[in-house]
């Protein structure tokens, strides 16, 4: 028998005379994939389910199939990966005549969450928190460059000598937001229409750099919004013959692009803050200390889920506003974990390691899981860092140092006993395979640096 929510949705769409619907999911890299379906097909999907070829869970961002995955490949003959529509994610696409849009979750044959579906993975982490009577609130912040270019022009230029939307650094510039106010207003309104409203937006330091802070929400809903923000932000600008990029670092001349995550834990029954304790040092409750300690302890091991690309590690450089060790401090922007707030409403921890290129579902799953392990095991954090964290890393235990490249980060991920315990063996093995594939694809390349360095002189 069809779920009542599905039946009600079908009746609503029929009453509106909706003819087409758009569906999407994110792959392991956080790239949205999907399709249009007519209303009759959509009704059939709600009633019976449907599937995408499971290659979509076994290829890279260039649609190249992994050759090292057990889950999917030529050896499996690429059956369908079944999915179900999450109708609670409905948006009406403002630039497609109000067409309904939905996210989907992959499921197994028995209807249970698929082990390597990124969104389902986060749902499982959130469910674990709920079993501990914890509700998690998140807020993502993204930095991104905007270029006066098109997908064709960047390729014609071979990604070199690109024209930024605006020149100069101009951090927090009123001049830039005044001059381009129409573009900013259009973007703010678009974000509201797409149900990923912003708390704030400003010019960040660097030519054409914007920083947007999404308005906080429950962990899964916030990760949906963060994921959709990245995709629809890019399409918003491309429709205006501009381009936005969320690469962790698109030029060595400028700081990298972050994807910071603010986290608050609430009592799931009362809604009260679990982080705030008026009588404690810095008003940090014992539970908050355990949560931070868990993130310190497991940040190195879970790093590939937060820094998943080759490019991610060009951002993790001392003195460039990104951490290189699992440090924490009170209102300290040189640490990986920044404690903020002096009231129950404001008390939170900012995860500053996250890069803009991370899959929001996997980054959220990683940091929340690390924090929950800290609570479960009663872990204690190191002393808070005061002053410049980069200058004090030598005094920290070795397991708090972060890998400087993806291959080493995957090594640490693979060596951590808790990885399979927390994320499941199938996801863990598949994710390792996907990141090692990424490393191998990179290592096949002869770079401009190598040519300039060696071609003549060696």
Q: Which residues pair with 217 in a beta bridge?
A: 138
Residue 387, token pair as written in the block? 């002053």
The dihedral over CA atoms of 176, 182, 188, 189, expressed in degrees to the nearest 10, equals 180
User: Count of CB atoms within 10 A of residue 161's CB?
Assistant: 6
346 in Cβ contact with 212 (< 8 Å): no
Helices (H) and strands (E) in the chain, counts: 15, 14
d(CA 94, CA 85): 21
Give me the residue spans of the domains in the chain. Answer: 4-114, 129-449
d(CA 23, CA 124): 22
d(CA 388, CA 329): 10
pTM of the model: 0.96
d(CA 338, CA 456): 48
Task: Say yes or no to pLDDT of 345 above 60.
Answer: yes
Mean pLDDT of 91-104: 98
Span 28-52, pLDDT tens digits = 999 999 999 999 999 999 999 999 9
> Where does 57-173 have alpha helices with state H?
118-131, 151-156
d(CA 438, CA 332): 33
d(CA 55, CA 33): 12
Mean pLDDT of 349-375: 97
152 in Cβ contact with 227 (< 8 Å): no
Residue 264, token pair as written in the block? 């608050």
Please report, in angstroms and rounded to a whole number, the separation of the first and last CA atoms in the chain: 72
Class level of CATH domain 4-114: alpha beta
Handedness of CA 108, 118, 262, 215 (dihedral sign): negative
Task: Say yes or no to pLDDT of 61 above 80.
Answer: yes
Mean pLDDT of 168-191: 97
d(CA 126, CA 372): 10
* CATH no. for 129-449: 3.30.590.10
Residue 114, token pair as written in the block? 């698929």
Q: How confident is the model at residue 397, as a pLDDT? A: 78
37 membership: H or E segment, kind and range? strand 32-38
- For residue 57, which of 75, 90, 79, 87 has the smallest C-alpha distance? 79
Span 367-382, pLDDT tens digits = 999 999 999 999 999 9
Residue 451, token pair as written in the block? 């040519």
Span 249-305, pLDDT tens digits = 999 888 889 999 999 999 999 999 999 999 999 999 999 999 999 999 999 999 999
357 in Cβ contact with 259 (< 8 Å): yes
pLDDT band at 2, cuts 50/70/90? low
Q: How confident is the model at residue 395, as a pLDDT? A: 77
User: 129-449: same fold as 4-114?
Assistant: no
Structure-token match 């007519």, residue found: 38
d(CA 269, CA 192): 30
């Amino acid at each position: 028998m069809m779920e009542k929510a599905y039946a009600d949705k079908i009746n609503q769409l029929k009453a509106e005379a909706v003819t087409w619907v758009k569906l999407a999911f994110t792959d392991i890299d956080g790239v949205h994939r999907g399709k249009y379906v007519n209303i009759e097909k959509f009704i059939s999907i709600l009633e019976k389910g449907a599937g995408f070829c499971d290659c979509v869970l076994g290829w890279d961002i260039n649609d190249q199939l992994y050759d090292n995955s057990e889950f999917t490949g030529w050896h499996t003959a690429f059956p369908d990966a079944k999915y179900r529509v999450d109708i609670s994610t409905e948006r009406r696409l403002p630039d497609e005549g109000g067409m309904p849009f939905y996210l989907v979750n992959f499921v197994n044959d028995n209807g249970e969450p698929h082990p390597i579906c990124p969104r389902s993975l986060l749902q499982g982490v959130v469910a674990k928190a709920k079993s501990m009577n914890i509700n998690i609130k998140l807020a993502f912040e993204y930095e991104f460059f905007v270029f006066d270019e098109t997908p064709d022009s960047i390729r014609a230029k071979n990604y070199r000598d690109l024209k930024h939307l605006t020149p100069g650094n101009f951090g927090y510039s009123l001049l830039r937001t005044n001059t381009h106010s129409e573009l900013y207003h259009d973007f703010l309104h678009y974000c509201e229409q797409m149900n990923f409203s912003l708390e704030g937006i400003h010019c960040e330091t660097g030519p054409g750099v914007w920083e947007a802070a999404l308005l906080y929400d429950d962990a899964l809903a916030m990760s949906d919004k963060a994921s959709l923000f990245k995709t629809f932000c890019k399409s918003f600008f491309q429709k205006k013959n501009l381009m936005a990029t969320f690469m962790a670092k698109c030029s060595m001349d400028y700081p990298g692009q972050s994807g910071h995550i603010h986290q608050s834990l609430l009592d799931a029954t009362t809604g009260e803050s679990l982080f705030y304790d008026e009588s404690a040092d810095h008003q940090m409750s014992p539970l908050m200390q355990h949560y931070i300690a868990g993130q310190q302890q497991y940040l190195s091991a879970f790093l590939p889920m937060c820094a998943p690309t080759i490019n991610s590690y060009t951002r993790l450089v001392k003195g460039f506003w990104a951490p290189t060790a699992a440090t924490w401090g009170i209102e300290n922007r040189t640490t990986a974990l920044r404690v903020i707030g002096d009231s129950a409403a404001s008390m939170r921890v900012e995860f500053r390691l996250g890069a803009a290129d991370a899959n929001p579902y996997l980054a959220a799953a990683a940091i929340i899981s690390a924090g929950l392990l800290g609570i479960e095991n009663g872990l204690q954090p190191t002393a808070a860092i005061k002053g410049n964290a980069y200058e004090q890393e030598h005094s920290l235990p070795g397991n708090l140092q972060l890998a400087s490249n993806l291959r080493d980060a995957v090594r640490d991920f693979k060596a951590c006993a808790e990885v399979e315990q927390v994320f499941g063996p199938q996801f863990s093995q598949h994710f390792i395979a996907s990141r090692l594939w990424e490393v191998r694809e990179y290592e096949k390349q002869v770079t401009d640096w190598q040519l300039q360095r060696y071609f003549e002189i060696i």
